Amino acid sequence: MINIITKKRYESFSPNVGISYKGTPSSKIFGSEVNTDARFGGKIGENLYYSISGRYLYKYGYRVGDETNAGNIGGNLTWDINDANSLSFDVSYFHGIINTSPNLLMEISRTGAMMSPAVSNAPSQSKQYDAGLGNIKTQQDRIDAVITYDTKLTENQKLQIKALYHFFRNKYLTNRQDLYYGRWWVTDFSQDGSYFLDTKVGAQARYDLTHNGGRGLFIAGVDSIYSIGERLMNMAYRFNISGQSAGHDFHIPLTANKWTNSIYAIEKYNFTDRFSLTGGARYENANYTGKREYSGISYGAMMCTRNGKTSPCAILRPDKDISANISNFALEITPKFDFGSSNVYAKYERGFRSPNPDNLTMAQSTGGGNGITRYVDTNVKSEYYHTFEIGSKAQLGRYVFVSGAVFYTLTENELYSYGSAHTEVFSIGNYGLTSRAGVEVFVEEAFFERSLRFNQSFTYIDARILDGSRNGTNMDGRRIPYVSNIKATLGINWDIGKHFSLWTQNSLTGAQRDVANKELDPYILTDLGLDSRFGDFTFTIGARNLFDATYFTYYNSDPSDKITGYSYLYAPGIQFFTDLRYAF
């Protein structure tokens, strides 16, 4: 949802400008990323405050051919009408052109011919910076706007009302890929002109009441958000069959809307100086509307012959309306005991996640061997989860802080989406039961009057499917894909005199499984940097992934989906960076 955060009031003219650079050993002369930003804030008259910010990003990606040009501008006006009332307006606009290529395929065609046998293109570190087989050029535009009215009704009562607008468009100016489509190897598979639009309009209201001499805080609110989703998928491909050209063009529009209305209430009450209880509830109703459409044409050797005449074949599916109304509720209760500089708490939360509008329908084969498909309801349910957590925080003396928690989450009807849309393996559904059990610990120590500081964290999580299937495969007992079982960090900060600080941040990400249940290796990342400050000028220099660890940002070893699955994408290796900033 929309979340514009700005510092709204600057009593005097307050500019802040900065530039940062990031590069890899394979960077061009301008590096792999140059980022500049500026912010200006101030005051007009007695009660009107303003701020304006802008940012420009040029990024030459770590993979061959990747390049991004993007920028955004934003602003805020805040009018303090009087001591009890204020009105503010926030707006921002983003525009970006992103050039990239597809993920690297696990298998490719030996000769590039339609029916040539596949050969392995398995991962190897030598391919870390390789481009995929194709070219994808995307234009992104985003607009966010929020009007906020704040009023102090009495000394103990506050009211906030917001009106908001959000617009996001992601359009493929060019999308050409070489890939396996069904059993055929297709070159220049096109999705040119395909796009996705997301528009949201809505209103929110929140009421705060402090009562019983400050012991209690009651919060209540209502939200109403109308989301309008629009997607157009254009697909076109050509290939040769026995020396004859053949192919298809597809035009697949989708409108998917969701109107969400919710009401919530939260109460935190301090019964004594040592014991407090927080409880809350939320009710939500979501109404879904929309439509799926589909049309296509067959060309060349795949054309139809009727009455001795050959012509392109029309491929049609019946339209499918999207219509549903789903209600959900959430609960939370948290008792907490304070003991001076430490506390112990217990928490129960019942939460939910309702389906996206496009999750409610999907394409399905009608059988009979003719390959004709239709749109059907998926009958997916909302996802519910129950979380139980016990934790504690403690300040031990002046220089040691410790926190920890154990938790268990049981989820009913966890939503999943699998495979590429409009393929035989694509499915949307619910797992019956999943669980996540774990422990997390954080420790921070300081020495030599806090000039030397250490921080460590450790999280262990066991995330499993307890009951469920996917595409007819029993998933009972499998680990939930792409959830690491261990995450550990170690940070060190050393202040060297008044002007310099040397730091390092290290992290271990444990093993995880992909959608085919293949285990991915753990990896360790080390960042190292030096901060310096001279008055209003700050300067940072350092390196990310200092030891050039190799790992993946995407990995899918399931060969049943060769369009958007069965591929991999390496993460960047070592990167050098610097950041300069001046705050007047």
User: Which of 48-57, 225-234, 312-321, 332-341 has the weakest average pLDDT?
Assistant: 312-321
Residue 3 lies in a domain: no
Domain that holds residue 154: 14-583
8 Å CB contact between 195 and 144: no
Q: What is the pLDDT of residue 298?
A: 84
Output 449 or 117, whichever has higher pLDDT: 449
**In the block, which residue shows the tokens 């209880």?**
277
Query: pLDDT tens, 216-263?
Result: 999 999 999 999 999 999 999 887 777 777 888 999 999 999 999 999
DSSP 8-state class, residue 115: T
Q: What is the pLDDT of residue 216?
A: 97
A 10 A CB-CB count for 482 gives 14
Burial of 316 (C-beta count, 10 Å sphere; 0-12/13-18/19+): exposed
Mean pLDDT of 363-368: 63
Residue 365 pLDDT greater than 70, yes or no: no
Residue 4 pLDDT greater than 50, yes or no: no
Q: Which of 379, 229, 201, 376 is nearest to 290 (CA)?
A: 229
- To the nearest 5 percent, what fractions of the chain are helix, strand and coil? 0, 70, 30
CA distance 416 to 24: 36
Mean pLDDT of 100-129: 86
pTM as predicted:
0.90
Inter-CA distances, 217 with 210, 222, 265, 367, 500, Å: 5, 17, 11, 60, 43
pLDDT confidence of 3, banded at 50, 70, 90?
A: very low
Residue 437 lies in a domain: yes
Residue 324 lies in a domain: yes
Give DSSP secondary structure letters for 181-218.
ETTEEEEEEE-TT-EEEEEEEEEEEEEEEEEGGGTEEE
Residue 8 lies in a domain: no
Residue 354 lies in a domain: yes
Mean pLDDT of 444-448: 96
Query: pLDDT tens, 194-213?
Result: 999 999 999 999 999 999 99
Inter-CA distances, 498 with 309, 532, 549, Å: 87, 9, 34
User: Which of 28-42, 95-109, 349-363 has the weakest average pLDDT?
Assistant: 28-42
Mean pLDDT of 558-562: 85
Tally the residues of the chain: 584
Mean per-residue pLDDT of the chain: 91
Name the residue type at position 490: L
Output 298 or 493, whichever has higher pLDDT: 493
CA distance 80 to 364: 57
**In the block, which residue shows the tokens 């006006």?**
77
Q: What is the pLDDT of residue 369?
A: 40
Residue 257 lies in a domain: yes
CA distance 349 to 387: 5
Query: pLDDT tens, 499-547?
Result: 999 999 999 999 999 999 999 999 999 999 999 999 989 999 999 999 9
CA distance 482 to 436: 13
Residue 49 lies in a domain: yes
Name the E strands within 293-380: 295-300, 304-306, 309-311, 313-316, 320-339, 342-353, 361-365, 373-377
Inter-CA distances, 391 with 123, 271, 343, 402, 435, Å: 42, 20, 8, 11, 19
Residue 112 pLDDT greater than 70, yes or no: no
Residue 367 pLDDT greater than 80, yes or no: no
pLDDT confidence of 562, banded at 50, 70, 90?
A: confident
Burial of 319 (C-beta count, 10 Å sphere; 0-12/13-18/19+): exposed
Residue 9 lies in a domain: no
User: Which of 142-156, 310-324, 439-453 has the weakest average pLDDT?
Assistant: 310-324
User: Which of 46-55, 77-86, 243-252, 286-295 has the weakest average pLDDT?
Assistant: 243-252
Mean pLDDT of 29-34: 70
CA distance 469 to 211: 51
Q: What is the pLDDT of residue 312?
A: 76
CA distance 416 to 381: 11
Name the residue type at position 551: Y
Residue 2 pLDDT greater than 70, yes or no: no
Q: What is the pLDDT of residue 114?
A: 64
Q: What is the pLDDT of residue 368?
A: 43
Q: What is the pLDDT of residue 329?
A: 97
Write the CATH number for 98.
2.40.170.20
Query: pLDDT tens, 424-436?
Result: 778 899 999 999 9
Secondary structure of residue 125 in the 3-state scheme: helix
Q: Which of 398, 391, 523 is nearest to 449 (CA)?
A: 398
Residue 352 pLDDT greater than 60, yes or no: yes
Domain count, the chain: 1
The alpha carbon torsion through 564, 566, 569, 570 (nearest 10 deg) reads 170
CA distance 442 to 402: 6
Percent of the chain residues topping a pLDDT of 90: 74
Contacts of 419 (CB under 8 A, 6+ apart): 425, 426, 427, 471, 560, 561, 564, 565
A 10 A CB-CB count for 94 gives 16
